[in-house]
């Protein structure tokens, strides 16, 4: 009886998944060259922008992975979200994002690269950005990773009774699940850039 009652829920989830908008996937190499949101830093304000960017990421719930003021790099650890199932998450920019994140396990990683205007991040000419006297550009990119776990067994009567099979050899090698770069979240990158500008203006 319980399985019969849960059948409409399973059909609803399947229908929503089938009708959810499809986003183009990317590979890891493409993720590194995808468009990034730009943030221009006036001379003498590099340290403040670094601080505001770091605080903005923390307020969004991201855990910082690397903050390198000398080379001008900020990165975050992958952040999970349940989309509409976790309404307190703030990284979604619309209902499409909320549905996609609810139907698939996805993570976002933010990277901010600083470099003097006219130079690419990581250029050999960059020695210590803390000593830079001219304007600086920051490139903000957000990569969405889809976490895949093989062995999903879909229960045709109840989605809640679906389960996973486990390969002991893969589990022993830490390969029970893996992440694939899916797309760039350009909207979130733009929002982060805008929020950092507002923080700077408020100060």
CB 89 within 8 Å of CB 60: no
Q: Which two tokens stand for residue 95?
A: 């209902």
Task: Provide the domain count of the chain.
Answer: 1
Give the mean pLDDT of 99-124.
Answer: 86
Residues 6+ apart with CB under 8 A from 120: none
Q: How many residues does the chain have?
A: 203
With 0.85 as the threshold, say if the pTM is over it: no
Q: What is the pLDDT of residues 17-38, one digit of tens each?
A: 334 444 444 444 444 445 578 9
Q: Domain limits at 120?
A: 2-202
């Amino acid at each position: 009886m319980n399985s019969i009652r849960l059948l409409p829920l399973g059909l609803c989830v399947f229908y929503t998944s089938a009708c959810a908008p499809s986003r183009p996937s990317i590979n890891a190499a493409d993720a590194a060259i995808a468009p990034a949101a730009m943030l221009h830093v006036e001379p003498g304000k590099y340290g403040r922008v670094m601080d505001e960017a770091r605080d903005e990421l923390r307020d969004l719930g991201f855990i910082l992975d690397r903050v390198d003021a000398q080379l001008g790099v900020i990165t975050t650890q992958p952040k999970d979200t349940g989309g509409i199932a976790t309404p307190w998450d703030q990284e979604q920019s619309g209902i499409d994002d909320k549905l996609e994140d609810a139907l698939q396990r996805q993570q976002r990683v933010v990277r901010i690269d600083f470099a003097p205007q006219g130079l690419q991040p990581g250029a050999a000419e960059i020695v210590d950005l803390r000593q830079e006297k001219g304007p600086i550009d920051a490139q903000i990119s957000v990569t969405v990773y889809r976490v895949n776990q093989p062995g999903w067994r879909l229960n045709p009567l109840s989605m809640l009774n679906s389960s996973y099979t486990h390969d002991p050899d893969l589990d022993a090698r830490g390969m029970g699940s893996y992440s694939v770069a899916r797309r760039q979240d350009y909207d979130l990158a733009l929002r982060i850039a805008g929020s950092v500008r507002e923080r700077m203006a408020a100060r």
